[in-house]
Amino acid sequence: MARMFGTDGVRGIAGAELSIELATKLGQAGAYVLTKEQEHQATIIVGCDTRISGGMLASALMAGICSVGANAIFVGVMPTPAIAYLTRKHKVDAGVVISASHNPMEFNGIKFFNGEGYKLSDALEDEIEELIRNNMKDVQLPIGSGVGKIDYRFDLRDEYVKFMKKCVPVSLKGKKIVVDCAEGAAHYTSVRTLRELGAELVAIHTNPDGTNINSNCGSTHMDELKARVVYEKADIGIAFDGDADRMLAVDEYGNMVDGDQVMAICGNHMKQKGTLKKDTIVVTVMSNLGFTLMGEREGIHVEKTKVGDRYVLENMRENGYNIGGEQSGHVIFLDDNTTGDGLLSALHLLEVMVDTGKPLSELAQIMEVLPQALVNARVPEHKKENFMEYQEIADAVSELEKKFNGEGRVLIRPSGTEPLVRVMIEGKDQRVIDEEAEKLAALITKIML
């Protein structure tokens, strides 16, 4: 039986795989597991992104929370990192975000934070899942005055704005910024923060209607932002995804600056200021080879984990590092927040621009981005973990690596959230690696379907 929790919570099409019944059970089991050691009546903060299904799933989830005797505080539309922060600040027992991040609007997801604002360990997720599969066996549900209640606090988003300005109190006067809020959770907090720090702001995709989140906008669709930055003669473009835990940038010429480059720019600046702990940045195996070469040149140790910002975070916490993330734009500044935070990343990047007086295009030259090809192979969900068990696929990968002869690499991994196997090939010639990635992805789909 497939594991219910992926790399970033429980996800699926709202109303189908992620049903009302499952949301209620996740509320029940999650609240029970995360609060069973507490002597007091537990409280859980719940927020969502702008998807039309968010209110429906939040209501079901909070019904489950209250049914085991815990209280819920519903804060409405809020970035994922804001929930992590508010969970810590208000000293509640847990936080829950209802979001499918960068996925299309018909998807939704449920992810938990513990009382310290960190994503849950695999062991805790397994405990929640086991309780659901056993239909809450041996759990006594309270009645009467023992059930929980729901409080509504839509004012808390301003606390997050204040926190962001405190983390990076940079003056943005004189900086023209185009920000793409992806019709998502960033549409209020990011716009307000950047304006209050003095930026001349051009804000696009800030009118969510429940169905337009991530639709041809945000960090997964950058063309409009690139063109708008050039048209506006702006200093920088900033793109968030639906729940605003990731950020990608655009320089003044309309060129994309990805998560690897953001970490290289900010990490080097921190090293120069003496604030880069152990002179280390934590990335995943998907990070560009150019990042590793940058680290070697600049005297920065590059620590690598498997794909998923949760694994980056685990490594950072275990070893005392303070910056890490993914090429996709999830960047964790652990001195400030406990999870990837798109607005925080944008502010730290802007801080480097202000401190150095250099344009983003010049700062981005700190690393050379080697050509990469990333192609998704659609496969059955229940088979996606087993792709290397197919001899024909293993042989094709081996042949490709021989062909590159140390001047490229092949990385294949299952998606944590979708029925896909992701094929990434890196090398010197974009045309060659594009062709090879397409061929390999087609082979994987043909063999595994």
What are 300-322's pLDDT values in tens digits? 999 999 888 889 999 999 999 99
pTM of the model: 0.89
Please state which of the ranges 87-91, 228-232, 416-420 shows the lowest mean pLDDT: 416-420
Output b/e per residue, 181-191; b: 16+ Cβ within 10 A: bbbbbbbbbbb
Q: Which domains does the chain have, with CATH numbers?
A: 10-152 (3.40.120.10), 159-366 (3.40.120.10), 372-448 (3.30.310.50)
HSE toward the beta carbon, residue 227, CA cutoff 13 A: 6
- Interstrand relation of 280-284 and 256-257 (parallel, antiparallel or unpaired): unpaired
Q: What is the pLDDT of residue 211?
A: 98
Q: What is the rounded CA–CA span in Å between residue 176 and residue 156? A: 28
Average pLDDT on 50-68 reads 98
pLDDT per residue over 180-207, tens digit each?
A: 999 999 999 999 999 999 999 999 999 9
Q: What is the pLDDT of residue 212?
A: 97
Q: In a 3-state reduction of DSSP, which class is residue 416?
A: coil
407: part of which helix (H) or strand (E)? none
Average pLDDT, rounded, for the chain: 94
With beta carbons less than 8 A apart as the criterion, state whether 61 and 44 touch: no
DSSP-assigned letter for residue 9: B
pLDDT at 2 over 80: no
DSSP-assigned letter for residue 118: P
Q: pLDDT confidence of 1, banded at 50, 70, 90?
A: low
Which residues have a catalytic role annotated?
101
